[in-house]
Amino acid sequence: MVNRNLIILPLLAALFLFAGKVFAGDAPPMSEEEFSKAKQIYFDRCAGCHGTLRKGATGPSLTTDKTQAIPVQALETLLSEGTPGGMPPWKNILSKQDITLVAKYLQNEPPQPPQWGLEDMRKSWKVYVPVEKRPVNPPNGGTNWQNFFGVILRNAGKVAIIDGDTKKIVTTLDTGYAVHILRTSATGRYMYSIGRDGKATLIDLWASPPNIVAEIKTGFDARSIDTSKFAGSDHMDKHDGDSFNYLDRYAIVGDYWPSHYVIMKGDTLEPLKVVSTLGYTYDTNEYLPEARVAAIVASHSKPEWVVNIKEAGVVLLVDYSKLENGTITETRIDAERFLHDGGWDSTKRYFMVAANMRNKVAVIDTVERKLVALVDTGNKPHPGRGANWDDPKYGPVWATTHLGEGKISVIGTDPIRHSRYSWRVVRELQTAGNGLFVKTHPKSNNIWADNTLSKDLKDAQTITVFDKNNIDAGPTNIKLTDKGKIVHLEYNKAGDEVWISVWDNDGEIIVIDDKTRQIKNRIKGLVTPTGKFNVYNTMLDIY
């Protein structure tokens, strides 16, 4: 049965948009207190998709020429019910009063947030445990620390470190507001968290128990963090007699606001360089007062990061090999607008990134240093880092889920031995509903995907799995929970378990045996677990 709202809401908005063009309204008055409360709600819940200045990205622009054309009541209905394009129904999260506040706020001009420069960062920078006071060896006693998982407890502002062998929570750390993702250093010793509030936190996994050794505020709004993973090579500059390497040397954070990236020392988070990403769109050459840094990945074969600028549609290859004397070199590659998330292909030469508002995946060749292809996918691709496997018919492939429909698009990634399949969708796999993440492992026969954004709650509580060697047999959908939603998948170091989050205030991690596809463990008592990152798979970018 078609959900009535899916028809009424867009019609309502279109009707008011038309009507409003004739009777464009003014900004409704708001008290200072109301404006400040609505500003925080917008920052927490809306800015990620619609932009700090409301110019749009994963979600449409919400500038006042548009929002004043829609009466407050219609805005309230849209906010309450959500939209088919992926905006959740806020009635389940915000009160009616708060929804009204946000509706009014959207009809007022957005405030210009402050800047945040190197001096501000330096003042916020704290080292809790100096490097010389940290363990010089990994924990002993058989602790398989490279099979630890960092698990984000989103609404609790914490990260749990869970032992992948024992399934025990080793410790829970206060990393701050709405942590978004975790990454590790190249050796896996350090784990880095980035919160939506721009705070980066450095966790020492060799401490017993792991502890926070440094933190810094890099801006007001951030989503990505990574580290330097190039081990260097003989021809590199010689420093102190041995070949210069970059393992654990640097960390980089990409901010949404201000629009910049920040390079720090990897073992202390001391800020070294801030680089603005403001500029022009690659296609229309209009100036962008907001050019947010989306996904960042670290090259394993060069001293460089791949840094994606969302609104500009530009991919930067940032060379850090001369950072010692203050120099970074950027190669700017025009790709496609509204770049979001992405990951390496199986060779770690090609970077696959979703331009989700343009329904495309951009393929960047980091050897030839150019855009190789723009692949048409389904409605709003959203891969996380995506998933790589060897398809029996198409050879090496990479896959993405979609925010706007229940489908996995599978893209050929081997331009040498499978050139006729490369850089185009070779399979479309139906899942149970709109998803966020897809995952597999080189040792697994399975491809797993969540259905987190499905309009039907039972589908959002379901995991979808395909057999790589019998994909045409279609999906197996397994309902895993009666509470919350299923989100994000991660393998353990051995590649024989899949860890899946039940995103709920009384959440848990469900551990599935990858061979039998049966539930092995439930790690309970976790507040809104979302992303989780296995140390070994994250340091080596195994996905």
Q: Show which residues are catalytic.
A: 46, 49-50, 87, 340, 382
Three-state DSSP string of 85-98: CCCCCHHHCCCHHH
Q: Which of 488, 511, 529, 537 binds ligand DHE (CB under 6 A)?
A: 488
Among residues 12 and 53, whose Cβ is nearest to ligand DHE?
Answer: 53
User: Rule CB under 6 A: which of 116-175 touch ligand DHE?
Assistant: 154
Among residues 55 and 385, whose Cβ is nearest to ligand DHE?
Answer: 385
> Quick one: tokens of 86?
């992926």
Among residues 441 and 488, whose Cβ is nearest to ligand DHE?
Answer: 488
φ, ψ dihedrals at 272, nearest 5°: -110, -35
Q: Which of 20, 48, 51, 198 binds ligand DHE (CB under 6 A)?
A: 48
Using the contact rule CB under 6 A, the part of the chain among 24-32, 114-122, 290-298, 404-412 near ligand DHE is 290-298
55 forms part of the interface with ligand DHE (CB under 6 A): no
219 forms part of the interface with ligand DHE (CB under 6 A): no
223 forms part of the interface with ligand DHE (CB under 6 A): yes
User: Rule CB under 6 A: which of 329-358 touch ligand DHE?
Assistant: 340-341
460 forms part of the interface with ligand DHE (CB under 6 A): no
Q: Which of 269, 296, 307, 539 binds ligand DHE (CB under 6 A)?
A: 296
φ, ψ dihedrals at 123, nearest 5°: -65, -30
Using the contact rule CB under 6 A, the part of the chain among 111-119, 292-300, 345-353, 405-413 near ligand DHE is 292-300
78 forms part of the interface with ligand DHE (CB under 6 A): no
d(CA 148, CA 532): 10
Q: Which of 384, 395, 475, 529 binds ligand DHE (CB under 6 A)?
A: 384
**Of 356, 375, 353, 377, nearest in space to 364 by CA:** 353
Cβ atoms of 167 and 151 within 8 Å: the answer is no
Give CA separation, 72 vs 18, 42, 79, 405, 504, in Å: 15, 16, 10, 29, 31
Q: Which of 173, 295, 323, 498 binds ligand DHE (CB under 6 A)?
A: 295
Among residues 74 and 181, whose Cβ is nearest to ligand DHE?
Answer: 181
Among residues 20 and 382, whose Cβ is nearest to ligand DHE?
Answer: 382
> Quick one: tokens of 376?
């048409």
Angle between helices 96-106 and 32-45 (to 10 degrees): 90
CB 297, min distance to ligand DHE, A: 7
CB 255, min distance to ligand DHE, A: 11
436 forms part of the interface with ligand DHE (CB under 6 A): yes
CB 436, min distance to ligand DHE, A: 5
**Of 431, 382, 333, nearest in space to 49 by CA:** 382
d(CA 372, CA 315): 12
Q: Which of 180, 217, 249, 485 binds ligand DHE (CB under 6 A)?
A: 180
User: Rule CB under 6 A: which of 185-214 touch ligand DHE?
Assistant: none
> How many of the chain's residues bind ligand DHE (CB under 6 A)?
20
Give the helix/strand (H/E) hosting 41.
Answer: helix 32-45
Strands (E), 90-163: 126-127, 148-153, 158-163
Three-state DSSP string of 136-147: CCCCCCCCCHHH
Give the helix/strand (H/E) hosting 203.
Answer: strand 199-204
Cβ atoms of 133 and 119 within 8 Å: the answer is no
391 forms part of the interface with ligand DHE (CB under 6 A): no
Give CA separation, 523 vs 59, 182, 429, 462, in Å: 34, 19, 30, 18
531 forms part of the interface with ligand DHE (CB under 6 A): yes
Binding site for ligand DHE (CB under 6 A): 48-49, 58, 154, 180-181, 223-224, 294-296, 340-341, 384-385, 436, 487-488, 530-531
